Chain A
Amino acid sequence: MVRVINRKLRRKLALGLGAVAIAGSALVPGTVMAQTSRDPAYAAARSGGQVGEKMDGYLGFVGTPSAGLRAIVEDINIKRKAVYAQKAQANNATLEEYALTAGCLAIMRTAPGEKYQAPDGSWRVRGSEPPLRDSRCP
């Protein structure tokens, strides 16, 4: 009688462990999901100058984008906004303050050939010289 119970318990335990293992393996791809590199289509649009870094911390379209590119960029901007909101709250700042700061830095990081928005609102191609930025940028 006791042995039967033990066997049942063991089976339950094994099942439980299996479930934990499955859940664990499901979690691992989640952490891998946090990509460290740009989507190839986004990277191409950046170097191709179809999208540029705006002063406000978001991506902008230089011309009229294709539907596919628009979807990619809008998705990125939504994700950026979510990150800005979270970080702004953690730093006792407003979303706009944090976004503008990130915009300063993102423009500074543009590679030659990529586009960015100058303080007068015009699109500029980044050259080897420092980008034209807002006077408040660090």
Chain B
Amino acid sequence: MTAMQLTDRAEAANIKPSMVGQERSRWRPALPVVGAVALVAGLAACVSVKAPDKPIVIELNINIRQEVIYRLAEDADKTINENADIF
């Protein structure tokens, strides 16, 4: 090998195996930016959907399922008996 060839390869020889992934890591700083963009896009979508306050309460009641009420009925009956002064 000539002195010139050795000089050319010096750079490649100095790259450690741990530095092989360096090419990819250069993109890492961009990831939070992508996340922020997605978040802003999501927020923008939330702002455009405006739900009135009152129907939400009714919808919560609708979401209560019958089997839950059946499951709680026995205990609630006992509770009413035990707290007769407030029922």
Contact = CB atoms under 8 A, between A and B. Distances in A.
Interface in B44-87: 60-61, 64-66, 68-73, 75-77, 79-80, 83-87
Contacts, number: 72
Contacts of B84: 35-38
Contacts of B75: 87, 90-91
A119 B77 CA distance: 20
A83 B64 contact: no
Contact of B69 (A34, A39, A104): A104
A138 B86 CA distance: 22
A90 to B, nearest CB: 8
Contact of B72 (A79, A80, A93): A93
A136 interface: yes
Interface residues of A, number: 30
Interface string B11-45: 00000000000000000000000000000000000
Interface of A: 34-39, 56, 76, 79-80, 83, 87, 90-91, 93-94, 96-98, 100-102, 104-106, 109, 135-138
The 3 closest A-B pairs by CB, nearest first: A35-B85, A136-B66, A101-B72
